[in-house]
Structure formats: structure tokens, C-alpha cells
A and B are shown apart, each in its own frame.
Chain A
Amino acid sequence: MLIDSKKQILFSEFTPGYGLSIALKMSPEKIIDIMIRSTLRGRGGAGFPTGLKWQATAKAQKTPKYIVCNADEGEPGTFKDRILLSDYSEKLFEGMTIAGKAVGSNKGIVYLRGEYRYLLKKLDKVLNRLRKIGYLGKNILNSGFDFDIEIVLGSGAYICGEETALIESLEGNRGEARNKPPFPTDEGYLGCPTVVNNVETFSYVPYIINKGADWFMEIGTEKSKGSKLFSISGDVKFPGVYELPFGVSIAEILELVGARDTKAVQVGGASGICISKKDFDKPLAFESLPPGGSIIVFNKSRDMLKVLKNFIEFFVEESCGQCTPCREGNYRLLEAVEKLERGECSINYLKVLRKLAESMKYTSKCGLGQTSPNAFLSIIDNFKGEILARPKKVND
């Protein structure tokens, strides 16, 4: 085994309340300083440095402030947050409380994916227990700091995982992304400064506060420190959630999960990119292959055009429909895939669509439209041979 699985963070020993009690004795600046030094980057997809996000929220003038946990986990093939929520939620709640202390917020909200409704009872039980032992609520551990957490059920659309659409949804509106700037750190929930972090991101926090930034930074790569949870699925023997250090290569992972005859790997869920064998040696890290939350493995029996079609259908379905490039663009990409299926897509038209896809990446209003072309571009590029080898009716 190439992977040093001894060094884990999230699945390492945890004493509830430890990190919290340390944080409560620190100044907010100190907490933020440790978070910045740890270089922890958000685990929800975009990888924004968590400490900087907290710092911006702490600096924002307006009050009250909110701590929102993004537990919408809607990316196909991703189920890492579910495990944290169902079995390790004290870590998450503790992380949110520490964030509250750091930015000066007394209210946390967990936006829980609608499909995870069944976890609600369990989570409420944990919250109640934490309240009872004084880890939540008024005057936490006699520190004078108040913080409580509420769980709100999501509305079921993938777009509601995008932080500003999530906030809209929390406010009772249609889940549609807002314009950025302003960022939630300045104007988030109810127009107030808001930290939005992923479940996994928050879960690292008590460890970092407890054991220090340096401890966290022992593993990982130059620019991506620590470890990461991966939901691994597809044509593998041992699907599941793995905590692996940044820098691990696809090949190593494939070996770990018992994948055979792998043709393609989708890194980062539907919005990620699909790589072929030539890139299996690349390390998973923000600076090379941004990992997202999921890895989907396809073996040689898979039809890559079908794979692509599935992804695009997902985006056509899930686009909130606000902005032109994403609403119309994804539809045109799907149309092109259907043309390819029928062998009716000319090389020239494919070129135009490649350009369209590129343009969607920087013209769309939110992350959904900005990342939806990734699958199209990477599959068309990396599996060109396979895709164009299909029988053609039209050529020009």
C-alpha cells in the first residue's frame, strides 16, 4: 500500500469539546490566525481558504452574523458529508461554534439536503445533548459566549448547494444564485455577513484548534495541506468514503479501491473533469487535479459518450435557468451529444461547441454554469478517438 493511511485527521481520535474549550479561551483574532496558518481550504468544491473567509466575515461591519453549514451535498456520486453528518456530527457542530466565536456570530444554521431528512432526528438529538452539557446555547462552558444551531431542510435542487442560492433558499425564495460580489462574507443571509462552509470543512476545525496548524500541515502537498474525504464509486470493488492525504495520485486510489481495467476517472463529481489513463499519475490537489468530493471510476466497458450525456443531462435539469449561457448553453451541449450519438455532428460544429463551452466557463453567473462544461470539454478532449470513431452520417 502506497498510501500512508496511518495519518488521518478526520477519522483520528476525537475528544468532544477539547477544541472548543481551547478556542473559547482564545481571542477571535487568534483563532482566525491559526485557521489562516493552517491553510485549510474549503472542502465544498471551490477550495477557498477558510481562514480568509472567516477573517472577511469578522471584519464586516454589519451585525448579526451567521454561520451556515452547507450540508446540501448534491453532487452526483458524493456522499462523504452524509457520513460526517450521520456519525460524526459533534465535530461539525463544534467547528461551527468555533467559527461563531471567531467571527462574532451567535447563530448557526445547517442547511441539510432534503434527501437527508432521515438524519434530522439524530442530529437534533446530538444538538440537544450538546446543549445539555453546555457546549451549545447560552454562556458556553462559562465563557460568556452564546451560540446555537438550527437545522433547516433543503429544497431538493442541486443549485441550492451553491452558497448564494442556498442563502436565497434559506430566506424562503426560489433557489437562484446571486451576483458576486457582494460575497456572503459581506452580505449573506438576510443581508448580513455570513460564513458558508462545507460540512467537512467545519469538521477539521476542532482538530486544527486542538492540535495546531503545524500538525494539520504535516501531510498534503505544497499548496493543498491536510487530507480530504473522497466518495469513491463506479467500477470499483470497494466503493466508499476514504480519507486520503492531498497529493495522492489517481493510480494509487484505483489500486486502493480495487479498480480494474479503468478507462476513465471523473474527478470532482459532475462538475469536475474526466481524465484518461495518461493523467492517472497526477496527484489530487487544488493545484493539479482539484478533487471536489467524489471520484467516479469507469472501466473499459463504458461508452464515454453515454457517460458524458448523463452528466450534461444532469446540468440541463439542474440549471436554475436564470442566466443565458448556462440555461441555453447546456441545452445546446446536450443537443450536440445527441447529434454525436446519431453520428450527425460535424467536426466544425464540435469546434464551435468547444468554444461555446469555454465561454460558458467564464460567462455564467454561478459555479454551476461555470463548471458544467468541464465534463464536456474533458471527455471530448480526452476521449476524442472513441467519440469520433462512431459512425458518421454528416461530415463537412
Chain B
Amino acid sequence: MANKDTKKTKKEKEQKSAEKLNLAQCSNAACGAGSGKERKLTGEKIKVTINDKELEVDKGLTILEAARKHNIHIPSLCYHEDLCVAGICRVCVVEIEGERTLKTACTYVVDRPIKIKTSSEKVRKARKFVLELMLANHFGECYSCFRNLNCELQKLAQEYGIDQLRFGHVTTPRYKVDKSSYAVVRDKDKCILCKRCIRTCVDLQEVGVLEAANRGIDTKVQTFFDKPLAEVVCINCGQCINRCPTSALRANDPTEQVWEAIDDPNKIVIIQTAPSPRAAIGELFGLPAGTSVTKKLNTALRMLGFDKVFDTNFTADLTIMEEGTEFLTRVKEVLVNKNKKVKLPMFTSCCPGWVKYAEHFYPEILDNLSTCKSPQQMFGAILKTYYAEKTGVDPAKIVTVALMPCSAKKFECNRPEMKSSGYKDVDYGLTTRELAQMIKEAGINLPELTESDFDHPLGLGSGAGLIFGATGGVMEAALRTVYEIVTGREVPFKNLDIMPVRGMEWIREAVIKFEKVKPEYKFLEGAEVKIAVAHGTANAKKIVDEILAGRGFWHFIEIMACPGGCLGGGGQPIPTNLEIREARARAIYSEDEALALRKSHENPEILQIYKEYFGEPNSHKAHKLLHTHYTPRGRY
């Protein structure tokens, strides 16, 4: 693109103010968005009349934002709080006095006193036509659709009382469903061309897999050269799924296979649950966002027929032991032994979306990625080795299922190298949404269940492992352990809460000074360790570009591909927005705060597994089972 540079600088400039507005701003049309004013709220108020009611609204808000602030409902479809505006579905049109045409509330910035009608006859008819036109070209029946009762199109059809399809209705599929990817399934027949996925992939994530192709009635969302999703640079983050209003995008669902395994008496089906789904699954059962249901979920999983229920926090702790040790070794190799082969900064590697992003776009930094497998994969590996040996079961009989907030984990568990136990480490990755569906199908009402504990061993996780679910959590967990290993003292933050790495700002940095270190870490005396945390691959890109340009230097960097970290993962309940992600984060942090065990290296079951099996972190055996390697991939 010719104006890439101008675009970028403008974008960067807008980042700060855009964040305040909770709106990714862009002024390019990759998304068809067109120009978005650099909107800064000055605090100035403007008198606006909405439906004969006089209101004072902030100058610079769009009509849609202003209306929502005042609890006035205007429907929307292509609009998404996380994305730049497109103004293309035309569902949000309103009438503005003096304007010849209707205007889209999602794009129209209030900068002078105006009179708005949000539901005049003209408006209602226009919206109804828009919806009918969409539905006429929409192949699908709601009752056989996974978004049934959670579909924005369906909801609007209901809201506008669509009881006939005057322009007809497609009766046969026109496209093949693309099931090539382990993570994301695309059904173009359900697509209403709102381009939320494109804006997610191009602007929010800066991966750029999806684009609009063709014109007019032939317009469609397409991958590069219309290739199957598995063959393009898709990082499987599933962020597009979470922002698709319909079922045109969904995760590749292994529920059937999981049921089959459960129903097979010869199989031992073990599930591990990650912290983020536990803080979110309640939303699918009518609980408010930010309600953690960890122990009720354990009960539900047993009712479903899982033989054992374990806590991914356990292997998150294991990850911290391995990764923390790796980090200290790297620092020593670089600083003391001047080993040119060892690379700093070290990037975290527990996010498979980020790993694949790096493999595609930054193969030159793959040596900077920690070699640690993700907690999910570590868990699978130890279940089929240590655990099988310990309990005397044939690992061939074990089916490992992982409840994850993530669609990329589905791809990860199918990576050919993830078999160091001799078996597929993790057999199936289930998303939060898929598990909720299983629970519903079994007639279980999750919120009503009594609580029960995880199975042991491998069922004990620390608060450090728990906060992996939020952006910054891995870094915080690692620091709690590394600092203490090096100095013998607790990390110098009140109540162990390392606030500088928390929050939803896209990129966060901190410097940790190591003083009065233990003798064996003398090389770190007085060292100022620079760390950074980024979430959303667009922000990872910024960091890596800074490093490659020689402008930025850090020692240790946490990257999560999804906005908000895992709690905003592509397998989490739909809808998503900043408010929901913040609520989930609060749930996770307050759970951590309530725990007695908040440091990975103090987890007795972790100490036990090293004693009984691995010896010490980064041991030969640990390397074989808990570490991995990466594959440079092309950009096309």
C-alpha cells in the first residue's frame, strides 16, 4: 500500500486518544471504513435533540455513542466497539433535520446542535428494508445454526418484526464451507458483509488474512487468492469469530469426538481447565461478566463424564519454573558468557496465536521465543507420561481434553511436533463456547451446581498460574518467581500485585532492579531488567519492529495475541468488548488475591513433580517433554 507510512504514524498518534474512546481508529479503507475524524473529547457539550428530547452530549461522540450513553437504543450491525467504524450495513440510519439523506449514527460525529429522529417512519422502513435485503441473501435457518439466540442478525430481524421475506430467501448453499483450519471455520453463506472480521484481522490484529473481494452482489470476504484458511497466514486467534455478528465464522468444533471418547468405556478422558474460560463461561448461563465459576464447573465436568478434572494453572506454574529458569540462563549466557547464540530479549511462548504470528512475520526472532511449550501442551505431555506411570494406566487409553478460551490452541495441539510423549499431547481443544454447549445439552444448569475441587495431583495451581489468563499475567507470575529465586526476597510490590504490568493499555513497560542478590546470581547485582507486555498482535508488531529497528530494548517480553490476553480469546463467549474483558480480568485478579498460594515455586505439587520426575527445571527430561521448537513460515 502506497501510504503505509502515513497510515501508520497517524494510527500511532491516534492510539492514545482512541483508547480513551475504546475505539480503534483508522483512516484507511482496508476495511471500507473511510475517514474517521481524529476525535478527541474536549469536554465541550453540545445540545442535541433526539426524538424531541433535549440532551447535552459530548462534542466529538458519534450519534450512536451519544445515544447509548443516554440509553436511547439505535440498532447497529457493522459497528463494533473494538473496531474502527465502517458505516456500511446502514442499519443504524437516523434522520437528521435538514439532511437530504438518512445518516448512519455510527459514523456521524456530533459537532454542532442537531435534531435527530431515531425511529421515524422513514427510518423504520429503511432499516426493515436493509434487514430484509440481508436476509434475502442469507442462506441458513436459525434453528440449525450455532448462533441461534446469540445472533445479531436474528435479533434485529426479531426487533423489526420481520415476518416475511418479500425479496425471497436463498434456499441452497452457494459456497463451500471452509473447514481446512483446525481453528476457524468459514461459512460464507451466512456472511452479511459487515466486514467486522476484516477490520479485526487487518486493523485490530494487523494480520491481514481477510479482505473484501469483487464488487456489487459478488462481493465477498476472501483470503489471499481465496485459498483455504489453513494455507494462509491466519494465526488462528479467532478474534474475527468473536466479532462476527452471525455464524459465518465459528471455531472448528471437536465436541462430537469428545462425546465419543466420554462414551467409550475403554478411554480415560481427562480435562484440564484454563482460568479464562472459568471466568467467562458463566456469561453463557446468564451470569454477569466477571463471575468466576471454577468449582461449579468441576462439578459439571464430572457430571458430563470426564474421568479427571485438572487445573491448567498447575502447568502454568510449571511453565513459570521452566521459563523463569530459561530466562535466567539466557541472561547469564548473554551477559557473562557472551554467548552469541543465545538471544535476548526473550519472548513468552504460551500463546499459540503469537507463536504462529512470529513464525509467519518474524522468523528472524524465533530464537528469541522461549522454548517452553504452553501450559496446555505441558499438561498433555505430563498426563501421558508422568501421570500415566504414576497411576499405572496405559497412556494410549488416555484422552486429553483442554478447556481453553482460545481457538489457536486447537491448532497448537495438532502441531506435528507436539508428540514428545509418544502420543498426541493434547487430543482435543474445547473452547468455552463449545463446553457450554455440551453442558446445556446434558441439561445441566451450571450456576445452580454445588462446588467441587480439582483432582490431585496436578490439580493444584497458584494464583500466579491463574493470572496467566489476563494480559500481563505471565509476566507478573514470572517476576514473582524469578525475583525471589535471584534475591531470596519477595518481589517488591505491595501484596505481590505488580500493578505496572496490569491493565488494558496495549503496551506496558516496567523496569525491575535486582539488588542484594544471592551469591549464585552475582552477575545480576544492580541489574535493571526491562520488561514489556503487549496484547493484540498489532501491538506485538510495534514492539518487534522497535527491536528490529534497534530503537527498543527489553530483556523479557510477554505477548498475547488476543486483546485482553486469554480472557479475550477467540473461544470465549460472544459478544466481547472492553467492559466485558475488564470484568473477566477483575474476576481473575480477585481470585488470585484470595488464594494463599500465589507463587509458582511454592506450589507443593510442582515441587513434587520435580522431585519425582523432572529433577530440576530445564533438565534433560524437562526439555524433552516441556519444551518445543518453531518453524519459520512464509508470509503467503
Listed in ascending order, the chain A residues whose CB lies under 8 Å from chain B are 157, 159, 164, 168, 171-174, 176-179, 181-182, 187, 190-191, 316-325, 327-332, 349, 352, 355-356, 359-365, 370
When A181-B109, A324-B134, A365-B90 are in contact, do A370 and B215 touch as well, CB less than 8 Å?
no
Task: Determine how close the nearest CB of chain A comes to the CB of B97; give it in whole angstroms.
Answer: 14
Chain B at the A interface: SS class: loop
Which of B121-129, B446-454, B621-629 is the contact stretch? B121-129
When A178-B34, A179-B107 are in contact, do A319 and B215 touch as well, CB less than 8 Å?
yes
Residues on the B chain within 8 Å of A359, using CB: 125-126, 129
Residues on the A chain within 8 Å of B100, using CB: 362
Is A178's CB under 8 angstroms from B35's CB? yes
Is A157's CB under 8 angstroms from B136's CB? no
Partner of A321, one of B10, B125, B218: B218
Task: Determine how close the nearest CB of chain B comes to the CB of A63; give it in whole angstroms.
Answer: 14
Residue of A nearest to B3 (CB): A171
Task: Determine how close the nearest CB of chain A comes to the CB of B565; give it in whole angstroms.
Answer: 32
Is B34's CB under 8 angstroms from A331's CB? no
Q: Does B549 contact A (CB under 8 A)?
A: no
Is A332's CB under 8 angstroms from B93's CB? no
Is A191's CB under 8 angstroms from B215's CB? no
Is B29's CB under 8 angstroms from A190's CB? no
Interface size on B, residues (CB 8 A): 49
Is A176's CB under 8 angstroms from B216's CB? no
Is A332's CB under 8 angstroms from B136's CB? yes
Is A324's CB under 8 angstroms from B89's CB? yes
Q: Does B438 contact A (CB under 8 A)?
A: no
Is B90's CB under 8 angstroms from A355's CB? no
Is A190's CB under 8 angstroms from B90's CB? no
Residue picked from A178, A179, A359, most chain B C-beta under 10 Å:
A179
Interface residues as binary, B82-114 with A (CB distance below 8 Å gives 1, 0 otherwise): 000111111101000000111010011100000
Residue of A nearest to B220 (CB): A321
Is B90's CB under 8 angstroms from A321's CB? no
Is B85's CB under 8 angstroms from A325's CB? no
Q: Given A171-B2, A191-B27, output 15 extra A-B contacts at Cβ < 8 Å.
A: A173-B1, A174-B32, A179-B35, A190-B3, A316-B217, A321-B218, A323-B87, A328-B217, A332-B133, A355-B129, A356-B133, A362-B100, A362-B102, A363-B93, A365-B87
Residue of B nearest to A177 (CB): B34
Residues on the B chain within 8 Å of A328, using CB: 133-134, 136-137, 167, 217
Q: Does B130 contact A (CB under 8 A)?
A: yes
Is B193's CB under 8 angstroms from A164's CB? no
Is A330's CB under 8 angstroms from B90's CB? no
Residues on the B chain within 8 Å of A179, using CB: 33-35, 85, 87, 104, 107-108
Task: Determine how close the nearest CB of chain A comes to the CB of B95; give it in whole angstroms.
Answer: 9
Residues on the B chain within 8 Å of A356, using CB: 129, 133, 167
Residues on the B chain within 8 Å of A171, using CB: 2-3, 28-29
Residues on the B chain within 8 Å of A176, using CB: 29, 32, 34
When A179-B87, A322-B32, A328-B133 are in contact, do A190 and B125 touch as well, CB less than 8 Å?
no
Residue picked from B130, B215, B219, most chain A C-beta under 10 Å:
B215
When A168-B34, A191-B10, A327-B193 are in contact, do A317 and B88 touch as well, CB less than 8 Å?
no
Is A323's CB under 8 angstroms from B215's CB? no
